[in-house]
Amino acid sequence: MRSAVKMISVLTIIGFISGAVLVLVYTYANPIIAKNRKKEMEKAIFRIFPEGKTYDKRTFGKDTVFNVKDKKGSLLGYAFLAKGNGYQGAIEIMAGIKSDLKTLAGIEILESQETPGLGQEIASDKFGSQFKGLEVAPEIIYVKNVEPSKPNEIQAITGATISSRAVVTILNEKIEVIKKDLGKLK
Amino acid sequence: MNNPSCAGCSKEFCKGLWRENPILVQVLGMCPTLAVTTKALFGFSMGMATLFVLVSSSFVISSIRKLIPPQVRIAAFTVIIATFVTAADYFLKANFYAISKELGPYVPLIVVNCIILGRQEAFAYKNSVLRSLVDAIGMGLGFSIMLVLLGSIRELLGFGTIFYFKILGNGFEHWVIMALPAGAFITLGFLVGFFNWVKMKWRRPLY
C-alpha cells in the first residue's frame, strides 16, 4: 500500500513539474511562432505580387482571401491558401490570382513533404514560375514531356507526375471556390 | 579528470564516440538517422536537438534517481523526456523556423528515440549526476557526428553540396537515390562496414 502511494505521488509530482515547465515554454515560444507564420505568409504574398504594399483579410465561411493592393491602394489581385494531399503528405500553397479572376499571378509552396530531389521540385522556381500569368479557365492542365502549348497548360516535373498533378488539382479546386466566393460580391 | 567521483570519466565520454557509438555499434535511433539525413544541416540540427534532450534528461533523472520507485521508472523517464522534447520543438519553431519545418515530425519523435530512453535505463538511473552527464554528452556527440557524416555524404552525392556549399560542379549528375530513403540505408551500410573494418585493422578498442 505504501509503495503504491509513493508511486502515484512521485508520478503526479513529476507530471505537475513537467506541465509547469511546458506552460513557461509555451508562453515564451507561442507568440514568436505565430509571428514567424505570419511573416512567412506575408513574404509569400509579396513574392507573388511584387508591387503589393498592403493587404487586408476577408473571410468567406472557411476560406480566407487576402486582397492585395499596391502603394496607391488599387487592387492588384487576391491571394489565398490552398491545401490538399500530395504524394507523401499535405501540400499547402499560397496562390495569387489577378483581379480579373482569369490569370494567376503566381504560387508559393508553403509546406510540402514530397520526395527530396523529385517531388520536392514543386517548390523550385523552375516549376513555380510556370504559374505566373497562367490562365485558369476552364481549368489548369498539366502535360508530360512536351512543351506546354496552350495558355492554361503547365509542364509536369519528370519523375514526379503525382506531385505535379497534386499541385494542379489543389489549385483548380480552390480557384473554383474562390471564384464563387468573390463572384457573390459583385 | 583526477576528481575521484569521476574516475574513468574520459572512458565514459569516449565510449559514446567509438566503442559503443549509438549508430555504428548499438544501431539505436535509426528512425531520425535514416529520415532526416538528406542534408548535412538537417543531420546537424537533429543531432543538436537530441544532444540537448539526452543531456537534460540524464541530468534530471540521475539527480532524482533515488526518489523514483523502480516500478514506475519508465513512465517517469518518458514524462521527463517528453517535456524536454516539447521544449526543444518549441525552441526550434520559435528561433529556427525554416529548419524546424524541414525536420517536420521528427523533432517531436525524439521522444521515442531509443538512445535517450536507453541511456536513462542503462546509465543515468544507476550512476551519479556527473558520470551521467559525461555519458550523455559522449553519446549525444557520437550520434550527432554520425548524423552529420551521413548527411554530408548524402548531400554531396544527392545534391552536389555540403552544408549548401557547392562542391561538385554543374557537370555532376545528381544521384537522386541518395536523397531517397534507399540512399540512407546504402550509406549507413557502407559506414558501418567501414568502421568495422577500421576496428579490425586496429585490433584494439579505441578509448
Dump pLDDT digits (tens) for A75-119: 888 998 899 999 888 899 999 998 888 889 999 998 888 887 788
Domain-wise residue ranges, chain A:
46-185
Chain Cα centroid distance, residue B167: 26
For an interface test with A, the pick among B72, B103, B107 (most A C-beta atoms closer than 10 Å) comes out as: B72
- Expressed as residue numbers, the domain containing B119 is 10-151
Q: Which of the 8 DSSP states describes residue A50?
A: T
Note whether A10 contacts B: Cβ–Cβ < 8 A.
yes
The verdict on residue B109 lying in a domain is: yes
Percent helix / strand / coil, chain A, rounded to 5 = 45, 25, 30
What is the reported pTM?
Answer: 0.82
The verdict on residue B175 lying in a domain is: no
Nearest by CB: A18 against B68, B69, B80: B80
| Residue B8: pLDDT band with limits 50, 70, 90 | confident
Nearest by CB: B158 against A22, A25, A117: A117
Largest CA distance in chain A: 80
The verdict on residue B1 lying in a domain is: no
The verdict on residue B119 lying in a domain is: yes
State yes or no: ipTM above 0.85: no
Min Cα separation A20/chain B (Å): 10
The verdict on residue B142 lying in a domain is: yes
Task: Give the 3-state DSSP-derived string for chain B, with helices as H, strands as E and coil as C.
Answer: CCCHHHCCHHHHHHHHHCCCCCCCCCCCCHHHHHHCCCCHHHHHHHHHHHHHHHHHHHHHHHHCCCCCCHHHHHHHHHHHHHHHHHHHHHHHHHHCHHHHHHHHHHCHHHHHCHHHHHHHHHHHCCCCHHHHHHHHHHHHHHHHHHHHHHHHHHHHHHHCEECCEECCCCCCCCCHHHHCHHHHHHHHHHHHHHHHHHHHHHCCCCC
Grid cell, residue B23, equals 549508430
pLDDT above 80 for B169: no
CA distance A55 to B57: 46
pLDDT above 50 for B2: no
Residue contacts between A and B (CB atoms, under 8 Å): 67
Give the pLDDT confidence score for residue A186 in this predicted structure.
56
Q: Please judge whether A14 and B101 are an interchain contact, meaning their C-beta atoms are less than 8 angstroms apart.
A: no
Q: Please judge whether A116 and B94 are an interchain contact, meaning their C-beta atoms are less than 8 angstroms apart.
A: no
For an interface test with A, the pick among B101, B103, B125, B177 (most A C-beta atoms closer than 10 Å) comes out as: B101
Note whether A75 contacts B: Cβ–Cβ < 8 A.
no
Number of domains in chain B: 1
In single-letter form, the type of residue at position B89 comes to D
Phi/psi at A80 (5° precision): -150, 155
The verdict on residue B22 lying in a domain is: yes
In single-letter form, the type of residue at position A181 comes to D
pLDDT in tens, B46-65: 999 999 999 999 999 999 99
pLDDT in tens, A130-152: 998 888 888 888 998 888 888 88
